[in-house]
Amino acid sequence: MKSDAEDTPTADAPILPVTLQGVALRLGGAFVLEDVSLELGQTGCTAIMGSNGAGKSLLLRMMHGLIAPTSGDIRWGGAAPSEVMARQALVFQKPVLLRRSVAANIDFVLKVRGQDRAQRDALLDHVGLLHKSAQPARLLSGGEAQRLALARALATEPEVLFLDEPTASLDPASVLAIERIVSDARSRGVRIILVTHDLGQARRMADDVVFLHKGRVAEHSTAQAFFPDPQSDAARDYLNGRLVV
């Protein structure tokens, strides 16, 4: 049996695939996630779907290492989530922007990561915010704020990008702009793990779908198989717009 130290990948060792073995999370005396076992491959985009309260965002945070599971094991290429967190980035549903200018939000991340600040303008240009670089970040519209959060996440040059409902309550143009940025990151080899309620978005972006129901994995299959022919009753009801309780 290998020790944890032997399992820990070096800085350039691959951290994918990620495997979850019997992961459970108990909050307030009740299990919110139970017996979650998954393996997510090295490339592409995984959509985590399910009704409200199914545990999607908690699963995302556990995979990233922000929450420790009550039991079970999560391994990124043999390493614990906390050991590889710096090689990943998470964009929250409600973007957390610093009380600074748009440019200073990017500068902050580049500085703490010891990266070249000359990248800043290219990143802002990439997300269509270069012309707003001097503006206060917290005065941006919802779509612009989310694009800035994405640019900041990409500034860390992540190998894995977690997105927690990044387009919730955004207009179609903003959704499209964000999907373009995410698709571009994916085409450059960034592994995308996306929580979404938007069926259209999941159809457009996902290579595989993890469907959660009442804190358990009801289904994990390719997007090609999932959308036309879901195997679980819960997923079928969800896709058909029936209330899943």
Partner 1 sequence: MQSIGEALGLAIALVLSGDPDLLEIVLLSLRVSLTATVIACMIGLPIGALVAIGRFRGRNAVLILMNALMGLPPVVVGLLVYLYLSRSGPLGFLGLLYTPTAMIIAQTILIAPIVAALSRQVIEDLHAEYAEQFRSLCLTRLQTVQALLWDARYSLLTVGLAGFGRAVAEVGAVIIVGGNIDHLTRVMTTAIALETSKGDLALALALGIILLVIALGVNAAVQSVRMTAARQAYV
Q: Interface with partner 1 by CB under 8 A: which residues? A: 61, 64, 66, 85-86, 88-90, 92, 96, 98-100, 108-109, 112-113, 136-139, 156
Nearer to partner 1 by Cβ, of 92 and 227: the residue is 92
Q: How far is the CB of 141 from partner 1 (least distance, A)?
A: 13
Q: Are the CB atoms for 93 and 142 separated by under 8 Å?
A: no
Nearer to partner 1, 192 or 244 (CB): 192
Output the smallest distance, CB 68 to partner 1, in A: 12
Residue 90: CB minimum distance to partner 1, A: 5
Q: How far is the CB of 21 from partner 1 (least distance, A)?
A: 23
Q: Which is nearer to partner 1, 90 or 205 (CB)?
A: 90
Name the residue nearer to partner 1 (CB basis): 64 or 213: 64
Contact 45, 194 (CB under 8 A): yes
Angle between helices 142-155 and 119-126 (to 10 degrees): 140
Write down the least CB distance from residue 197 to partner 1, Å: 21
Q: Listing from the earlier edge strand, what are the strands of the sheet with 160-164?
A: 88-91, 160-164, 191-195, 45-49, 208-213, 216-222
- Is cis: bond before 81, omega within 30 of 0? no
Shortest distance (Å) from residue 30 CB to partner 1 = 22
Rounded least distance, CB 119 to partner 1, Å: 16
Choose between 66 and 199: whose C-beta lies nearer to partner 1: 66
Question: Which phi-psi region, left, alpha or beta, contains residue 157 (left: φ > 0; alpha: ψ -120 to 50)?
Answer: left
What one-character DSSP code corresponds to residue 87?
G
Cα 238 from Cα 25, distance rounded (Å): 24
Which residue shows structure tokens 């994405």?
150
Q: Determine the Cα–Cα distance for residues 40 and 90; give it in Å rounded to an integer.
A: 17
Cβ distance to partner 1 smaller for residue 20 or 89: 89
- Closer CB to partner 1, 82 or 224, in the complex: 82
Q: Exposure string (b/e) for 6-22, b if CB count within 10 Å is 16 or more?
A: eebeeeeeebbebbbee
Which of 144, 7, 137, 1 lies closest to 78 in space, CA to CA? 7
